[in-house]
Amino acid sequence: MELDAILHQAARQGSSDVHLVPGHVPMVRIDTVMTGLDLPVLTAGVIEAFARGMASSEQMNRLTAQKDLDLSYAVDGLGRFRVNIHRQRSGMAMAMRSIRETVPPLESLNLPPVVQRFANLPRGLVLVTGDTGSGKSTTLAAVIQAINAKDRKHIITLEDPIEYTFESRQCLIEQRELGEDIPTFASGLKHALRQDPDIILVGEMRDLETTALAMSAAETGHLVLSTLHTVSASQTVERIIDMYPANQQNQIRSMLGNTLQAVVSQSLFPRSDGDGMVPAVEILLCTPAVRNLIRENRTFEIPNVIETSRSLGMTTLDASIAELCFNGMISREDAISRAAHPEAMERALAA
């Protein structure tokens, strides 16, 4: 069995993810649903051979030491994949996420128009959050491409692994990959500040050092774009503050209140009006009122501010979900089951 043949069959069925686990047939995710391909059951030896075929000897050594490895893999005529190779009970396994070869235009992503304004920000911190597979990387790549089409700036991306590849147009773009070009996000970010960037994309703010450096870069005049695995704007603010020791949190609230520009929390839904997925989003824009709430440790009031600031472009996740349902893009069942407040959603959709 050939890996590329598996990936071609998965692509023909419209899958977003491919999972290779010993003792199972290749499994794929199609519009959030897992299903098996009509192929033989995989063995641990076959999957290990796949891994050795795509990873360098240095990467295999890292996998042996750390038990997990992230890398990218390209297939001629098909595209690129973000790959995680890991050890589990029955041996080596893989999760592979399909990446489009070209960055989709920002206006094609079914995101609110306010997101397009992020490409015009001169400085500050913009966060795109959500679960794994919620489209965070695609949104950030589309923002970068929008900047690349119109401005003459220097952009540095720090990624794990590199997903979309950019061609420098108006901007000069450098892409650095964790493990290959930089040892850690924090190290890459620290050195990026000495490389004269205007814009820095950090794949994920996953630890205190990276978060502190990202906020410092935003505070000193750079536009910093990054992601977090949080599901709402208020939770995002709280997660950042909670990374710091208690005796530093007042200072960090002030710093975050000054630097944060926007939070977009995404969740993908299967479309009921056709094939594919569509995002529901919560959007927080940092108005003076929001900045005061962050500084004064009143983040529990952020949802109320979002709710009452729709005229500015803000929206709650539930309002976005309801709008998708009213427009016939997602099912009523999905809207209710994945709402933050299911009972309120059910009443809203019944009205």
Domain boundaries, given as residue ranges, for the chain: 3-99, 106-315
- Whole-number pLDDT of residue 192: 96
Q: Is 95 left (phi over 0), alpha (psi -120 to 50) or beta?
A: beta
CA angle 117, 166, 199 (to 5 degrees): 50
Beta carbons within 8 Å of 170's beta carbon, 6+ residues apart: 148, 149, 150, 151, 152, 153
- Is pTM beyond 0.85 here? yes
| Single-letter code of the amino acid located at 146 | A
271/284 Cα distance (integer angstroms): 25
Bridge partner residues of 337 (DSSP)? none
- Could you tell me the two tokens for 209? 């050092």
3-99 carries CATH number 3.30.450.90: yes
Query: Are 199 and 155 in contact, with CB atoms under 8 Å apart?
Result: yes
Instruction: Write out the chain's pLDDT in tens, 351 residues.
Output: 899 999 999 999 999 999 999 999 999 999 888 999 999 999 999 999 999 999 999 999 999 999 999 998 999 888 889 999 999 998 999 999 998 878 999 999 999 999 999 999 999 999 999 998 899 999 999 999 999 999 999 999 999 888 899 999 999 999 999 888 999 999 999 999 999 999 999 999 999 999 999 999 999 999 999 999 999 999 999 999 999 999 999 999 999 999 999 999 999 999 999 888 999 999 999 999 999 999 999 999 999 999 999 999 999 999 999 999 999 999 999 999 999 999 999 999 987
Pairing of strands 260-270, 277-285: antiparallel
Same fold across 3-99 and 106-315: no
pLDDT for position 122: 96
Q: How many CB atoms lie within 10 A of CB 188?
A: 25
CA neighbor of 277 nearest in space, from 12, 32, 21 = 32
Question: Is the previous residue joined to 161 through a cis bond, with omega within 30 degrees of 0?
Answer: yes
* Four-way CATH pick for 106-315: 3.40.50.2000, 3.40.50.1260, 3.40.50.300, 3.40.50.880: 3.40.50.300
The length of the chain is: 351
In angstroms, the CA 185 to CA 202 distance is 7
CB 228 within 8 A of CB 216: no
